[in-house]
Amino acid sequence: MAIIEKIFVSRTSLWRKFKPFFKYRSTPEDSVFLLPKNTFNIKPIPWVLGIDGKWLRRQGVVMIYRDVTNKTNLYWSFHSSESYESIEKDFERVNLIIKNNLPSGVVSDWKGAIVSAVNIFLPPTPHQRCLSHVQRQLLRLLPLRSPLPSTQKLRIIAKVITDIETHEEKYYWRASVNYWVFKYENLLKEKTLGVGTKKKWWYTHGNTRRAVNLLMFDDKHLFAYLDYSFLPNTNNSLEGSNSQIKTKLSNHRGMKTPQQVIFLFWLFTFRRVKNRRGLKSLWDSLKNKICRY
């Protein structure tokens, strides 16, 4: 409405002018020249690669690869799932962008496909598991109103995992986890026998066992940030971006999944633009391509 009032054109004329843009899915390659210079700098500059996905109504996931140090989205894609094949294809494209300046670290939610791709394409790079994701998962497994004192105590231990800042704090936190396991070891072994079910038995406190396994995860990746000062312990930079995406999609309710994908891809493209000069360069590079499309 603001554009209609400013340039005095009808809604139909405005729709006709913008229609080619609504059908074109902007790719990261369309605006890669707008990335900061240090992305292509031959001299290594410490930065961290953040990886996360935004699901769209379970119809697919938009994967985002972000330089969390400089707060710049390097690459994005859309897939039906976070499969190994999809993530590896993304990494092949991402490597073309960062080949002259590889990341000093990686932070992710530790999905299997992401871990595999990092091990293949960036094998010596320290990989931090996002503690915000870990904490949220732990709090889901350990309900607030559980009647069991053991669950309540473990929940208290889980809540402070994101507050650990030194090796000494990690030592005392790890000691509290080990003490809990020693004290409630029998609880973790309790089994329920199935009557009239396909399964003959299962662990009575299955969620508690899952929470303990998560708390006992390899310190090398759970607390990698303690050994590398440049490495964040959470993926909050991408979490904030995903929160904004959720707000944008909520403000434009009614779009189908393909329309949402196009909308988000254009949003990521324009976020690379820092000034009017960059906007003009983007328009010059895309106008002929879009009109042909």
Distance CA 211, CA 283 (A): 50
How far CA 69 is from CA of 57, 105, 163, 200, in Å, comes to 30, 10, 20, 51
| pLDDT band for position 41 (cuts 50, 70, 90) | low
CA-wise closest residue to 76 among 86, 95, 90, 89 = 90
Is the confidence at residue 9, as pLDDT, over 80? Answer: no
Helix (H) or strand (E) holding 289, with range, is helix 276-292
- Counting residues of the chain whose pLDDT is more than 70, the rounded percentage is 93
CA-wise closest residue to 30 among 253, 216, 262, 208 = 262
Is the confidence at residue 197, as pLDDT, over 60? Answer: yes
What is the side-by-side strand order in the sheet with 127-129?
A: 72-79, 61-67, 48-55, 105-108, 127-129
Say if residues 125 and 106 touch (Cβ distance below 8 Å): yes
Distance CA 5, CA 129 (A): 49
Residue that wins the pLDDT comparison between 45 and 81: 81
Residue-level pLDDT at 36: 77
Mean pLDDT, rounded, for 221-240: 91
pLDDT in tens, 93-110: 999 999 888 999 999 999
Mean pLDDT, rounded, for 47-61: 92
Residue that wins the pLDDT comparison between 264 and 241: 264
| pLDDT band for position 73 (cuts 50, 70, 90) | very high
**Which residue, chain included where needed, has tokens 């009109």?**
291
What does DSSP assign to residue 231?
A: S
- Other Cβ atoms less than 10 A from the Cβ of 277: the count is 9
Any bridge partners for residue 107, and if so which? 50, 128
Is the confidence at residue 210, as pLDDT, over 90? Answer: yes
Residue-level pLDDT at 8: 64
Is the confidence at residue 59, as pLDDT, over 80? Answer: yes
